[in-house]
Structure 1
């Protein structure tokens, strides 16, 4: 898991930039921690960004990475496996992450623009408050995830398994959930505009009464 140490900059409560080595949990804490500051306040952000980008590119398995606030553009995470990572407040633009595997990781309040995550397997992770624009999760395993408060515009979750995930108070516009398993998925108080649940098991999902009326009208 990533470090919970906070930035050494005065009055900053953001997590430090942290990266576990390829030896992961067998490596000493001092060797894994390479910054006492968050990405915003580190003295050499370009070098840190280059290190992180190279680290991800050179490893198929990434454990305990914490890079809150970092920007990724035109990156290729396809086939990568992330465990216990922190990507809070990150920006992902034109990122390819097909067939990506993610476990127990945090993407809260991150921005995803024109990203392709088709065929991914993401479980026990949080995207609370994140924003998705033209994002593709088609044909993915997305079970036990937190999508509470997200904003999704012109995005697709088609042909995916969303079992026991949550979209409470999400704002969903022109986004499709066609042919999905949405058993025990909670959409309470979500705002939906031009949403399709065609061929999905909506009777096994949880909707607010007013939303349910719109679905079956």
Structure 2
């Protein structure tokens, strides 16, 4: 990796049509850019924001994301499990993360706000202190996941087995508590 790109703004770039440069990006903004199926592997993004970008099936192998915000982005099938988790800090707002993979990733203190996380895999992940604000977690996979102090109070449609996850201090709403009981065959009226 050579060079550092500082304080740049990219508008409407289609990286599926011209090569993406794997380098370090500091305080850069990407607006309406297409990264679908693109290898952003081994890149470093520090204090960057992505707005209305498409990362469907993008490749993140060894990529560092530190203080990175994704706003209204499409991240369908994105494999975050291969990120460099050193200094990893993420914020997702209004994003579609259906079928994304966070398995085995250490990403505590992440914020998911108004995101769709349908069938997203959090197996073996550390998402302690994470907030799922107004998120759809239909068929999301939580197995051997560290959910300690995670906030699910406004999340919807989750199914989590308390016997297969670390959940001390996690917060849930009464209206969605059935998502903790589904695996036990318990019915609430």
Q: Which TM-score band applies after superposition, normalised by the shorter structure? A: 0.7 to 0.9
Q: How big is each residue's C-alpha offset from its partner over 1:93-121, in whole Å with a ceiling of 9 and x where there is no partner?
A: 11010221111111134221111112211
Gaps of at least 5 residues in structure 1 are 1-38, 40-44
Task: Give the 3-state SS of the residue equivalent to 1:128 in structure 2.
Answer: helix
Task: Give the 3-state SS of the residue equivalent to 2:81 in structure 1.
Answer: coil
TM-score, normalised with respect to structure 1: 0.65
**1:63 to 2:16 alignment:** yes
Choose 1 or 2 for highest CA Rg: 1
Cα distance between partner residues in 2 of 1:144 and 1:92: 23
Q: Alpha carbon RMSD of aligned pairs, Å? A: 2.9
- Counterpart mapping for 1:15-94 below 5 A: 39=1, 45-46=2-3, 57=10, 60-63=13-16, 65=19, 70-94=23-47
Distance 1:171 1:96, change over 3 A: same
What is the aligned partner in structure 2 of residue 96 from structure 1?
A: 49
What is the aligned partner in structure 1 of residue 67 from structure 2?
A: 114
Task: Give the 3-state SS of the residue equivalent to 1:123 in structure 2.
Answer: coil
Q: Which has the higher helix share?
A: 1
- Contact 1:92 1:111 survives alignment (8 Å): yes
State the 4+ residue runs in structure 1 displaced beyond 4 angstroms.
Answer: 64-68, 212-217
Task: Give the 3-state SS of the residue equivalent to 2:92 in structure 1.
Answer: coil
